[in-house]
Amino acid sequence: MNQPNTEPIDPPTTFAMLMPYLAAVGKHLPTHRKNDILAELGANLLDAMEDREEELGHPLTLEEQAAMLRAHGHPFEVAMRYQPQRALIGPLFGIYWYTLKRATPLVILFAFAIQLMLAFVSPESGSLMYRLGLVPYVLFLFWAVTTAVFAGLDYGVTHYVGAMRLTAQWDPMNLLQERPRPVLHGVAPKYPIVDLIADAVALLWVVAVPHFPVLLFFGPAARLFHIEATPIWHRMFAPIAALLLTRLVLKAIAIGSRHSARRTGLLYVAADLCSVVALALLVLPGEALFTITAGVPAETETGIQFGIMMGLRVALAAASLAAAWKLWQTMRLHGPTDGAPTAVML
Amino acid sequence: MNTILPTPEIAESLTLELRRGSLVLAVLAALQQEHYGYTLRKALAERGLEMEESTLYPLLRRLETQGLLTSEWREEDKRRKRFYRLSIAGAAVFEKLLAEYVGLTSALERILASSAVVTKE
C-alpha cells in the first residue's frame, strides 16, 4: 500500500474566507492527517477561486467566495467525507461520532456522581465499590443505545428521506464573524477526554483506598505487607472525594466550553486547585496514611511512611506550582472575556 | 418491511447508485495521465462528468489508500499541489473494471435494442 505523503499547510491567500473555512474543516479532521488534507484542499480551492475570478473578470467579492464555499459544502460534511466508510451508520456517521465524543465525558461524570450519591444515600442498595463498578456498564449501555438510535435514524434518512444534506442551511459568511481564537497552550490538556478518564480513575482509586489500603502501594511489594488505612483516610474521605468529583465536573464543563479562552483556562485552574486542596488535606495534618501490621520491622515501616509522605509533599508542591503557572498563563491571554465562543481545546 | 418511496426519490437514489460505480471508473481512466484534484475535476467536467469537489477529493484519498493511485507533492505555478497518477495495481484494477463495464454496456445495448423491437411490434 502506498504511504500517503504529508505536506504542511501553507497557502497564504487573498481570499478572506478560505482560511477560516479550512480552519473550520480542520476542526473535524483526524490530527495526524489534518495538515496534509487541508494543504491539498486549500490548493484546490485556491485554483477554483482564481479560475472563477478569471471567468468573472474581477476579484471575488465576499458573497461570491461564500457562494463557492457553500457549494463546496459545510465544513463538518466535508471533513466527514475524509473519514473511512462504515457499514452500520453511513451518512449520519459524522454526527453520531460527534455526539459520542461530546456526550461520553458527561455520561462518565453523571454516572460517577449518581453512583456516589446512591452509595451514600442508600447504602443498603450495594457497597460503594459495587456502585462504582456499574459505571463502565452505564457507559457501555449509553454507547449501545446511541449506536442503535443512530443506526435507526440512518436507515430512516437513507430509505425515507433520500440523500439530503443535513447542513444545507449553512451560511459561510458566519465564518467571518468568528473571532480569532487564542490557544490554551499548556493550560488545557492535549487529549481532554483521556485526561478526564484518567481523573475518573484517580477518583475511583481514592474511593477504593479505605476499603483496599493495599492500593496505596503499587507493584509486587504490596502483597508482602498487611496494611490498614489510618483514620485520616476515613476522616478526609468525604471532602477529598467531593473535591475530586468537582475537579471532574470542572474539566467536563471546560471540554464543552463555548466561553472565552480565559474563562475556559480558569476552569482548568480551578480544577487544579481542587487537586491541590485534596492533596493538602491528606498531607498537611502530617499523620501516617496507613499502618503495617505484620511482616516489616518498625524502622522499615518508618522509612516507608516517610518516603510516601515525602512523595505526597513533593506532589503537593508540584501541583501548586502547576496551578500557579496555569493561572499566570491564563491571565496573560488577551482573548475576549465576554463569553464569546473563543475557547480552543488542544 | 416493505417501504414505498415516492418515485422521484427512488429515481434519485438509483441514479446515485448507478453514478457511484461509474465515477471510480472515470477517475481511474482520467488518472492514466497525472492530475491534481482541481485539474482532474475540470478534465472530467469538460468531458461531461460533473463531480462535486467534496466527493472527488476524498475519493482520491481513498483510492490512494487502497493502493490504486500514487501521489506526489510538487510545485506548479508557485503553489504546492498534490499530483495523482494510476499505480501499477490501479492499472490492473482499471483493466478489469473496464472489461466489466464494456461487457455490461454491450449487454445493456442488446437488451435495449430487443425491448425497442418488442415495443414497436
Is B65 close to A41, i.e. CB distance below 8 A?
A: no
For B23-34, write each residue's pLDDT tens digit. Answer: 999 999 999 999
Q: Which of these three, A85, A116, A136, is where a domain ends?
A: A85
- Give mean pLDDT, residues A311-336: 81
CA distance A71 to A174: 15
B62 pLDDT more than 80: yes
Output the pLDDT for position A134. Answer: 80
Predicted ipTM of the assembly: 0.77
For A305-322, write each residue's pLDDT tens digit. Answer: 788 788 888 888 888 888
User: Pick the residue with more confidence: A297 or A4?
Assistant: A297
In a domain, B4, yes or no: no
Into how many domains does chain A fold?
3
Contacts of A85 in chain B (CB under 8 A): 62
Into how many domains does chain B fold?
1
B positions 28-57 inside 8 Å of A (CB):
36-39, 41-42, 52-55, 57
User: In this complex, is the C-beta atom of A8 within 8 Å of any C-beta atom belonging to chain B?
Assistant: no
Residue in A2, A45, A47 closest to B64 by CB? A2
Is B54 close to A73, i.e. CB distance below 8 A?
A: yes
Output the pLDDT for position A161. Answer: 55
Domain identity same for A200 and A327:
yes
Domain identity same for A101 and A236:
no
Is B54 close to A81, i.e. CB distance below 8 A?
A: yes
A339 pLDDT more than 50: no
Domain identity same for A346 and A223:
yes
CA distance A35 to B80: 13
Which of B16, B18, B24, B38 should we substitute to test contact with A (largest number of A Cβ atoms within 10 Å)? B38
A31 pLDDT more than 90: no
Contacts of B67 in chain A (CB under 8 A): 1-2
Domain identity same for A70 and A97:
no
Could you tell me the pLDDT band of residue A16, with boundaries at 50, 70 and 90?
confident
Single pTM value for the model = 0.55
Instruction: List own/partner pairs for A97-105 with CB under 8 A and 24 or more apart.
Output: A98/A28, A99/A146, A99/A150, A100/A143, A100/A146, A101/A193, A102/A256, A103/A142, A103/A146, A104/A139, A104/A142, A104/A143, A104/A193, A105/A192, A105/A193, A105/A196, A105/A251, A105/A252, A105/A255, A105/A256
Residue in B3, B12, B52 closest to A160 by CB? B3
Could you tell me the pLDDT band of residue A234, with boundaries at 50, 70 and 90?
confident
Could you tell me the pLDDT band of residue A217, with boundaries at 50, 70 and 90?
low
Nearest CA in chain B to A80: B58
B119 pLDDT more than 60: yes
Is B12 close to A163, i.e. CB distance below 8 A?
A: yes
User: Pick the residue with more confidence: B37 or A129?
Assistant: B37
In a domain, B1, yes or no: no
Q: Which of these three, A128, A162, A196, is where a domain ends?
A: A162
In a domain, A171, yes or no: no
Least confident of A53-62, A294-303, A318-327, B90-99: A294-303
Domain identity same for A189 and A231:
yes
Domain identity same for A232 and A253:
yes
Output the pLDDT for position A336. Answer: 45
Residue in B3, B13, B57 closest to A44 by CB? B57
Instruction: State the CATH number of the domain containing residue B22.
Output: 1.10.10.10
| SS percent in chain B: helix, strand, coil, step 5 | 65, 15, 20
Q: Give chain A's largest Cα–Cα span.
A: 91
B56 lies in which domain range?
9-120
Domain identity same for A135 and A252:
no
For A155-165, write each residue's pLDDT tens digit. Answer: 776 666 544 55
Q: Return the C-alpha cell found at A85.
A: 466508510
Could you tell me the pLDDT band of residue A73, with boundaries at 50, 70 and 90?
confident
Domain identity same for A194 and A269:
yes
A112 lies in which domain range?
92-162
Output the pLDDT for position A125. Answer: 67
- In 3-state terms, what secondary structure has residue B35? strand
> Measured at the alpha carbon of residue A122, what is the angle toward residues A116 and A127, in degrees to the nearest 5?
60
Nearest CA in chain B to A50: B38
Domain identity same for A242 and A344:
yes
